[in-house]
Chains A and B, each alone.
Chain A
């Protein structure tokens, strides 16, 4: 996953605008931390490709594999199911893992999760 692509993404709230111009719900979890423009995004130790997979598969893949990276390291999940946008941060909150940020891909999103324990 190229670092350049992620670092050029817009800031928090970029995904909060609905397709039809109405501002959609702000997801209730506050602005998601996204690496500031110009700063390199944290590098992922493991990339999980869940593109084309429906929820809860991306979450199951993350739960299965997060133990494979050392504590403090980052797993990147690529997913395009609309539910992933809510469910990845919600899973992190439930499991006390750190949700680092999300960035749009041409189709879907890249989610960064840091293993906290």
Chain B
């Protein structure tokens, strides 16, 4: 009986690993491998990118799942069941995490369970070149580094900042919470970690600081400042704050303005910043290196746009919402050309939308009439 159970468990593990591996390997648009046996309609993806705008009904370039899925670190995290290992790690300051992880090849992928993990308040940020073993995680107050291979959880930032200590800042904090380190943003090369802190001035002001993960140097980047979103290039931090798009050189700390007139519901895709100009159907693209600007529009005047850039290339996904009418388009930021347009043919409400990899974009939600949860994956 036990043997049977073992064999069965091993088979499930192998099957899961194969499915995961095939899922991870499917970055290529020409990949035709089915992602999961659970999929009702796994279909082939487009082979070539048409340069002109095409309005298609859903099939055949989209995959349709019949329930909600979120992706993290290329892993669909909910509600699929995987052979996971529960990892419990504690830091010496008392903070602990309990998180299920999936092991694929030598990579170890944490699974984020939205709404159910009380110890976390963040997605895990994978540290480049760590073979998916090291991650950044934060808990509203501090920033930690998790190493699933070594089974360690450590505070990443020094607990002293000159005369200011964490304990002292906590006891003198008059604000609605001490953020010793919050809102971490990692550079794409994994060298820099940008973060926000209100450790100074009894918590009434925020500073932008940058931590060098290679040298451990922690330096003040900008005093009395904050950001809504940021992108770190090799030597410059670009960030948005209220209606401004700013840049600051890391070495010299020289601050400059890229634009004084943006809305912050935008997204970076270096060297582009794209945002909706009036929340609704118009959008702007700023090339933050050349300062060139381009405008465009999508949907109707009553539509709202949500723009998702990706870190791999200049293609962004624009989700167009007009109450329960949902469509999306792939836009090439470098040329401001629409590559492909899709319409969801039933009234739909969007809950999640994100890039799965450099070619596939996911929209997840439920049908308005039936309440049935459904996930679409689009490819350009």
| B is bound to A | no
